[in-house]
Amino acid sequence: MAMLALTDDVILPLGIVSNSKKELKLEGIALDDALIITLASSLSTLPLESSSMDTIIGVSKARDFPTAPLLAEMFRVMKPDGKILIHLTELAADLPSDNILSSLKRKILVAGFLELEAIQQQPDAFAGVHSIQVKARKPSWKVGSSFSLKSSKLLPKVQLDDDMDLIDEDTLLTEEDLKKPQLPVVGDCEVASTRKACKNCTCGRAEEEQKVEKLGLTMDQLDNPQSACGSCGLGDAFRCSTCPYKGLPPFKLGEKVSLSDNFLAADI
């Protein structure tokens, strides 16, 4: 089995590598056969072929080890189903160990490893330091591999028998739903143009009659305006002083004079 040991330091104590082997339960791997790379974070790529290592051990005193690019390289050179162990040593006892462990686990998961197992060792009261270990495994499939999906089972067919109780849609309607809608009653003022506005007029005839009363005109004079001189419909500039249409807007003879809503309203 091929094993790779990485560290950010200049040297890597073999005792830590030996303890990491025991933690991973690795048998039959001699330390002399392990490939050791120091100052690993300074490398842009690891000088190894893809899927060439069975086990990778990373050891560092830095709380941010390993970096994301280094983890990606570790994932690349590891064989499918290989094991990884990250060992952070000599961390100060007053550092937030939970935050460091959470950050390390998150980086390992993002790199693509599975089945994370964290081991947080008790601080050394004499030395005032503690260490953290996280184990993980690379998936058993290779990058770029493919496999066929099993066809899903067909859903069972639902058969409806004639004897089954079905809901009658008519029973969902209430008596109110079945009543014929009543059309609104037509007011008297809409029956004929000669009638006066009703008591509760809402069509606007009452307002028109009030305007006519203020002008001193009859409804016939507004509905069918006539002019003896022929100039009454041109506007006040062409009307005489006794013209009954004085003050009204221009209109065409024989056509109903239309009054705006604010015609008799005060300007001030």
Residue 191 has pLDDT above 50, yes or no: no
> Residue written as tokens 């184990």?
135
- The answer to whether residues 133 and 207 belong to one domain is no
Residue 193 has pLDDT above 60, yes or no: no
Residue 218 belongs to domain spanning: 189-268
Residue 12 has pLDDT above 60, yes or no: yes
- What mean pLDDT do residues 226-231 have? 72
- The answer to whether residues 63 and 130 belong to one domain is yes
Kindly report the CATH number assigned to the domain that includes residue 98. Answer: 3.40.50.150
For residue 73, what pLDDT is reported? 92
- The answer to whether residues 131 and 216 belong to one domain is no
Buried b (16+ CB within 10 A) or exposed e, 160-173: eeeeeeeeeeeeee
Question: How far apart (Å, rounded) are the C-alpha atoms in residues 58 and 16?
Answer: 10
- What mean pLDDT do residues 111-120 have? 85
For residue 192, what pLDDT is reported? 45
Question: How far apart (Å, rounded) are the C-alpha atoms in residues 123 and 118?
Answer: 15
Contact 38, 9 (CB under 8 A): yes
Contact 188, 195 (CB under 8 A): yes
Residue 153 has pLDDT above 80, yes or no: no
Residue 125 has pLDDT above 70, yes or no: no
- What mean pLDDT do residues 239-266 have? 68
Least confident interval from 1-10, 31-40, 200-209? 200-209
